[in-house]
Structure 1
Amino acid sequence: MKTNFNKEWKKDRIGSAHSGENPMVIAKMRSGFAAIGDTQFLPGYCVLLPSKAFGSLEELDFKQRSEYLLDMSLIGEAILKVCNPRRVNYSIYGNTDAYLHAHVFPRYNWEPEERIPYPVWQYSGEKWRNFEYQYSDKDHGKMKEKLSNKIYELMEKAY
């Protein structure tokens, strides 16, 4: 069964993470929440949501920034260990959802050669919207659980 993306939780991902209603959350972190990505055409794609809706990274004080960027890197390390990509890409935009959040994308050797040098955002809309690539517990639940376990393990070492 695919996750229903018309649910109310999606309108406020951060608030629903705090209330336990965001089904994509995989770990509560020092700076916010690690969440599995809505789309999984690159298996292991995750997002770091902050603890509150800051407009940008610069709105955080230096300690908060350090914690946020450390948490982002812990998600990336978990993806490396669980999904075995060739590398991980990190991006913070806030153009569509105008609040701080970080995308953590695994990049794989099996990707089309013409895609390798470019950001994932240049993949066609088909990859982002096609039902086939949407997160589902059936197809991605075990990976989500492994990522969660690895993130908690890494947090124990980092904090």
Structure 2
Amino acid sequence: MKQNDDWKKDRIKSAQLGENPMVIAKMRSGFAVIGDTQFLPGYCVLLPSEKVNSLEDLDFQRRCEYLLDMSLIGDAILKVCEPRRVNYSIYGNTDAFLHAHVFPRYNWEPEERIPYPVWQYPGEKWRDPEYQYSEETHCELKQKLSLALHELMKKAYK
């Protein structure tokens, strides 16, 4: 049976309603979600609690919370996936609302890809069903990220 993808029409609203299956954790500033594609295992996105256009639309306190939460996702990825490093990016060009991409980067990546942003990977990496998130393949990874993130939030939100 194919899963209903209506939640993708408004990922933030579906997260607020508890209908976004990609949510790893509710955070102070929003929702940590696992990425739709997992060719770099552990790729996550931070969605804000409410839809805003950009980081600058948040007051200073909410900006601080958002950027802290983004870094906590990176810490969870480092703990669970053990990448070489984590890359953070906020664009809003394709999906014109605030959201932050948190990408693990690995030593096993092709040498010619390592110095460049993940966006330069070929399109098939982003679209190939082999790399798309699935509960069967990625459920354990999602659970481990959730556990690590909840532990980090306990420390950070004292």
Please say whether Structure 1 and Structure 2 have the same fold, judged by a TM-score greater than 0.5: yes
Superposed, 1:13-52 pairs within 5 Å as 13-52=11-50
| Structure 1 SS opposite 2:12 | helix
The Cα shift of 1:138 comes to 1.0
Letter in 1 for 2:10: D
Q: Which has the higher contact order (CA 8 A, sep 6+)?
A: 1
| Structure 1 SS opposite 2:108 | coil
Q: Which residue of 2 aligns with 1:116?
A: 114
**Structure 2 segments unaligned to the other structure (5+ residues):** none
The Cα shift of 1:7 comes to 1.1
Distance across 2 between alignment mates of 1:87 and 1:44: 12
Let me know the Cα RMSD of the aligned residues.
1.1
Letter in 2 for 1:77: D
% identical aligned pairs: 78
Superposed, 1:77-156 pairs within 5 Å as 77-156=75-154
**Structure 1 segments unaligned to the other structure (5+ residues):** none
* TM-score, normalised with respect to structure 1: 0.97
Superposed, 1:57-76 pairs within 5 Å as 57-76=55-74
Letter in 2 for 1:18: Q
Query: How many residues in Structure 1 have an aligned counterpart in Structure 2?
Result: 157
